[in-house]
Structure 1
């Protein structure tokens, strides 16, 4: 965050030069450093919250999600205001000062974590990826994030085109339906996931509702519904309502699966799972706009949203069938091979408590 703030100052200083040859390179480095900042700060922040607030993983995600949505929704109009006052360089100066202040505040306010135990060993990504449930959940995270990213480049054009003809000033309000419903209902889903540990059931239900919302947002030609604005508003509200059910329990499910397969619930495991979760989510943010834009150009918005809805229903079917296999049709979760051959009473007892909860 600190280094990224200095890059904003560099763009502000050199952007004032009359020679503009170096500006594209600076903007490229700005995007590249922004990606590195997201990877480092989001992963470390997520692990920090998990370490400071144990047993509240989904609630932690709600805190982070609400702050991110608030920042995204507020920075766009604020950036436009600053651009109108001082040109394109003023938003970079304001962003750099804000990031610098936040970095300094974090140094003095955030309490330090306790030192790691000497017995704590660094985790292995390959060991985590060998767990079948991890791959299934990560694939679901990719598609859930892609569904969110699909609306970014395509929904505004769909709303402002005939027959809807929504005024451009109202497009932002339509997008706020997603963030508002997410912020309103996410704490409820986080509380249920933390208390009941029904992560897999919640994800299946969430992706099913997401699929329904994408069938309505077109609306899908398969439904033979008129393209009315109130139908799209209901679908956007339904998307914000359900996205928390589908994606929020994913990290807790990853942690439960890793614990069931014998991985310790320490900082290294949480860091690996957080990195995989954020990586899958970021991959979806790339796949969604890219695939969505290509599909809209070829098939139109209605059929494109139908395809994304079909992807959600595929996630529901795959996760349901995998859950039936893993839990042996209600007989209990399938034990890993090392638990079948070697006794781990403390591990089996702790994992059974999680499953019974």
Structure 2
């Protein structure tokens, strides 16, 4: 049974958070944390302070920094990879698959990581992932010296697969740590972490385009790999150790989590949104190249714009979502923005409007805002649905849900370039946008139907019962 204790100026946290304050940050914080009476459970009843401590901010900063580098590393190839691949004789379908391999591997591995994270430990997982991921990114730059198209394709697939094993571990550990360490600050910290990933997406294409012009294909990957590796000693020094869960601990399984319709809905929405993300990342540059002659740096600036609005709005949304009991409606707002974005980016077939850089820029603004609204709202709502069900008392349920979201990101981002490459190769970009718009319209219909016909108890923020509420993380 999950023990509960209430004290003045303290908010409620259950045993599902797994780690103790004492085991996480040392003996100095033990005064604010109380052990469970059941000695068989290594997880204990926790009381989260209203105000975050200095070491809390250090951990949050660590998660934010690692996501910034990861976001930059993922997007660094966007302005030039398709051009390089076409120069080696690869078709859009083939280099679309190469774009996707990293996310396919992440989709497969993230649920596995999520299931065993409490036993493996967040610290060991993120450290190992950082080392392997940085090595994979650097090795990708070596492909500059591979001229044969078939050999390039083979080694590109192998190296991206190797690196993605590490990057998937980094993502699973990072997102899984949020509900474990800070269950009362999920939306704020998730919004911050996603904002930093957005900052990485801003820096990545711009940095990649500039480094590509300065040093060629290899330099962007060497720089990003080195930056990611620099986080290893930082993480080694400050990332806290967490008590592991033993075999006697009661833990939720994937089937039990996915049997909750509302949680599954948020995951499906995320998969669909990431299909759009993967499509945009891989197919926008060839579309721009088809009607405008821009330098690689200029193309990177266009990608920067979507990342800028994504990063800013994830933080804004993270601050305002605690004011709403149910965030499902926010997914409708986000998908409407996506519909607008992909109507004007082509422009969509059969509109008799010529493509232009102005329309592309406007589309990226709507695209970045829509993605931000949906991502933060979906993740936060899924965690709320967990607390409204019997999953609330399950140790490890938060880690599994977090890893399912990482897998959803990976699956959607993997399918996006594959679907986009096929559609662009057999039709064209404006006609391919029809698929994206229809997908977003379908999501809107599905969400509205759920709100109308799938009734359940509204979310109640129990921290509101206390006079001193948990304040959002602010800098």
TM-score, length basis structure 2: 0.61
Q: How far apart in 1 are the matches of 2:214 and 2:221? A: 13
Q: Match of 1:243?
A: 371
Q: Match of 1:257?
A: 385
Q: CA deviation at 1:313?
A: 0.7
CA RMSD of aligned residues (A): 3.5
Q: Structure 1 residues 75 and 174, CA, compared in 2 at 3 Å: closer, same or farther?
A: closer
Q: Match of 1:343?
A: none
Q: How far apart in 2 are the matches of 1:134 and 1:253? A: 8
Q: Is the 8 A contact 1:154 1:293 kept in 2?
A: yes
Does 2:256 align with 1:149? no
Q: Structure 1 residues 244 and 326, CA, compared in 2 at 3 Å: closer, same or farther?
A: same
TM-score, length basis structure 1: 0.79
Q: How far apart in 1 are the matches of 2:226 and 2:297? A: 29
Selected match of 1:230 from 358, 372, 375: 358
Q: CA deviation at 1:4?
A: 0.8
Does 2:259 align with 1:130? yes
Selected match of 1:188 from 293, 316, 320: 316
Q: How far does the alpha carbon of each residue in 1:211-234 deviate from its partner, in whole angstroms, 9 at most, with x for none?
A: 121111111235444433322221
Does 2:148 align with 1:58? no
Selected match of 1:202 from 330, 337, 353: 330
Q: Structure 1 residues 318 and 5, CA, compared in 2 at 3 Å: closer, same or farther?
A: closer
Q: How far does the alpha carbon of each residue in 1:178-200 deviate from its partner, in whole angstroms, 9 at most, with x for none?
A: 00111222211111223324320
Q: How far does the alpha carbon of each residue in 1:271-313 deviate from its partner, in whole angstroms, 9 at most, with x for none?
A: 1101111111111111111111111122211121122011101
Residues 327-346 of structure 1: matches in 2 within 5 Å? 327=455, 333=456
Q: Is the 8 A contact 2:199 2:308 kept in 1?
A: no
Q: Structure 1 residues 193 and 114, CA, compared in 2 at 3 Å: closer, same or farther?
A: farther
Q: Is the 8 A contact 2:187 2:322 kept in 1?
A: yes
Q: How far apart in 2 are the matches of 1:166 and 1:26? A: 29
Point out the structure with the larger helix share.
1
Q: Match of 1:353?
A: 460
Structure 2 spans left out of the alignment, 5+ residues: 1-128, 465-475
Indicate the SS of the match to 1:302. Answer: helix
Q: CA deviation at 1:249?
A: 1.2
Q: Match of 1:34?
A: 163
Q: Structure 1 residues 78 and 174, CA, compared in 2 at 3 Å: closer, same or farther?
A: closer
Structure 1 spans left out of the alignment, 5+ residues: 328-332, 335-350
Q: Match of 1:44?
A: 173
Q: How far does the alpha carbon of each residue in 1:231-260 deviate from its partner, in whole angstroms, 9 at most, with x for none?
A: 222111111111111222111121122222
Does 2:408 align with 1:280? yes
Q: Is the 8 A contact 1:215 1:309 kept in 2?
A: yes
Q: Is the 8 A contact 1:47 1:267 kept in 2?
A: no
Q: Match of 1:344?
A: none
Alignment length (residue pairs): 333
Q: How far apart in 1 are the matches of 2:225 and 2:274? A: 28
Q: How far apart in 1 are the matches of 2:248 and 2:139? A: 46
Q: How far apart in 2 are the matches of 1:6 and 1:232? A: 32
Q: CA deviation at 1:137?
A: 1.7
Q: How far apart in 2 are the matches of 1:110 and 1:211? A: 41
Selected match of 1:171 from 294, 299, 302: 299
